[in-house]
Amino acid sequence: MLLSPGAAPAGVRLAGDPKPPSAAQIRAAENRVRQQQAALGTAQGKLSAATTELAKLQNQAEALTERYDQTRVNEQRAAAAYTVTETRLRHAEQQQAQSRDRVAALAAEEFESGGGFDPVTAMIGDAHGPQAYLRQVGMGQVLAQWGTETLSANQANDAVARVFRIQAHKLLVAQQADLRAANELKVAIQAAVSRQQTLVKLTKGNRDKAAGQLNSAEARESSLKAARQAALAAQAAAAAERATAAAGSAPGGSAQAPSWAGNSGASSTQGNIAANWALSQLGKPYLWGGAGPDSYDCSGLTMMAWARAGVQLLHYTGYQWEEGPHVPLNELQRGDLLFYATNTSDPSTIHHVAIYIGNGMMVNAPHTGAFVRIDSIYAPGGLIGAVRPAG
C-alpha cells in the first residue's frame, strides 16, 4: 500500500526513534486485521445475497413485461374485434329494421286484401274469370309463405344483434381488465427492481468500505512488523559495532564502510535537489539496469537523482554504500540514501537502495513489475543504514 509524503502509519515510530513497536501493538494490529477480514466476509455475503435477489427480480420483471406485452396485444385484438362486431351489429340492426318494415308492409297488404268477400264470391265476380282467381290464390300462398320467412328473418336478425352486442362488450371489458392488471404488475415489479438496485449499490459501497478498512489494517500491521524488525536489527547492528570497536578491530566483510569525515557529505540544498528530482519520476516502471529516462532500477534511480545535484555515484548499491559518510537514522536529511540488506549485521548482503524525502518516507524503485513510488522507510525490511553522498 502506498503512503502519502509527509505522513507515517499511525503508531509507527519514525527514523531515529530507538524504541520499536511493541509485541502487544503488533498483536493488536493482527487482531484488527482478523476483525476486518470477518467484516469484509460479512459485507461480501450481504452483497452476494442482494445481487442474487436482484437477478431473481430482474427475471421476474422480464417475464411480467412479456406478459404485459402479450396482454396488450390481446387487448388490441379485442378492440379490433369489437370494431368488426360493431360493424356487424350495425348491419344486423339494419336488417332488423328492414325486416320490421317488410312485416309492417305485409300486414297492411293482408289487411287491404282480406276484407268483405268470401272466396267463392271472389272467384265468380272476378273480371278475368276463375283462372285469374286461382292465379291470385296461388300468389296469396306465396305471399303467406314470404310473410312467414320475413317474420323468421326478423327474429333471427334480432337474435344475432343481441348476441353480437353481448359478446363484443364482454370480450373488450375482459381484455381491458387484464391489461390494467398486467400493467399494475409490471409497474410493481419494476419498482421492486429499482429498490433492489439501490440496495445492491449501498451494499457494494459497504463491501468496498470494509475492503478499504482491511487494506488499512493490513498496511498498519505490515508497517509495525517492519518497523519492529528494522529497529531490532539496528539495535543488534549497533551492539555488534560497539563490540567490534571495543575489541579494536574494524567490521569484517568485503563491503565494510569507508572512513568519511562527518561533514564531508553533500549539502542540504543538494539533497533537496536530489529528493525533488526523484519525486518527479514517480510512476515510471522498474527495469533491471535501468537508469532513465523512462525506467529505473533502485541504484539507477538514486544515481540519476544525485547526478542532478552534481554528485556522481556508481550504478551499484554496494559501491553507493561507500560513496559518502554514514548517517544515523535520527539525523536523516532529504536526499540521503537508505540501504537494505538480507543480514543487517553484514553490509556485504546489501541488495537495495532508496532515497529519503522526509517524515519517514522515501522514493523507491522496488522490484520488477512495480513502479517508482513512495514508501515508508521501514516497508522493505532489513534497513541497515543510511549514507549522505559526498559532494
The predicted pLDDT at position 362 comes to 96
- Which of residues 270 and 66 earns the better pLDDT score? 270
pLDDT at 14 over 50: no
Sequential DSSP letters for 34-90: HHHHHHHHHHHHHHHHHHHHHHHHHHHHHHHHHHHHHHHHHHHHHHHHHHHHHHHHH
Average pLDDT for 309-334:
92
The predicted pLDDT at position 200 comes to 93
User: How is domain 259-387 classified at the CATH fold level?
Assistant: endopeptidase fold (from Nostoc punctiforme) (3.90.1720)
- Mean pLDDT across the chain, nearest whole number? 79
The predicted pLDDT at position 338 comes to 97
pLDDT at 316 over 80: yes
Measure the CA–CA gap between 199 and 273, rounded to whole angstroms: 52
The predicted pLDDT at position 249 comes to 44
> Of the candidates 384, 386, 382, 378, which has an alpha carbon nearest to the alpha carbon of residue 26?
378
Amino acid letter, 201: K
> Of the candidates 199, 196, 160, which has an alpha carbon nearest to the alpha carbon of residue 57?
196
pLDDT at 360 over 50: yes
Q: Max Cα separation, the chain?
A: 176
- Are the CB atoms for 231 and 376 separated by under 8 Å? no
Kindly indicate the confidence band of residue 234, based on its pLDDT and cuts at 50, 70 and 90. low
- Are the CB atoms for 197 and 54 separated by under 8 Å? yes
> What percentage of residues in the chain have a pLDDT greater than 90?
35
Average pLDDT for 106-121:
58
pTM over 0.75: no
Measure the CA–CA gap between 202 and 187, rounded to whole angstroms: 23
Measure the CA–CA gap between 385 and 347, rounded to whole angstroms: 9
Same fold, 25-222 and 259-387: no
In 10 A of CB 112, how many CB atoms?
8
**What residue segments make up the domains of the chain, in order of their start?**
25-222, 259-387
> Of the candidates 342, 361, 359, 360, which has an alpha carbon nearest to the alpha carbon of residue 351?
342
Measure the CA–CA gap between 115 and 324, rounded to whole angstroms: 150
The predicted pLDDT at position 341 comes to 93
Q: What is the CATH number of domain 25-222?
A: 1.10.287
Kindly indicate the confidence band of residue 288, based on its pLDDT and cuts at 50, 70 and 90. confident
Measure the CA–CA gap between 76 and 74, rounded to whole angstroms: 5
The predicted pLDDT at position 89 comes to 74
Lowest mean pLDDT among 38-47, 126-135, 254-263, 276-285: 254-263
The predicted pLDDT at position 279 comes to 95
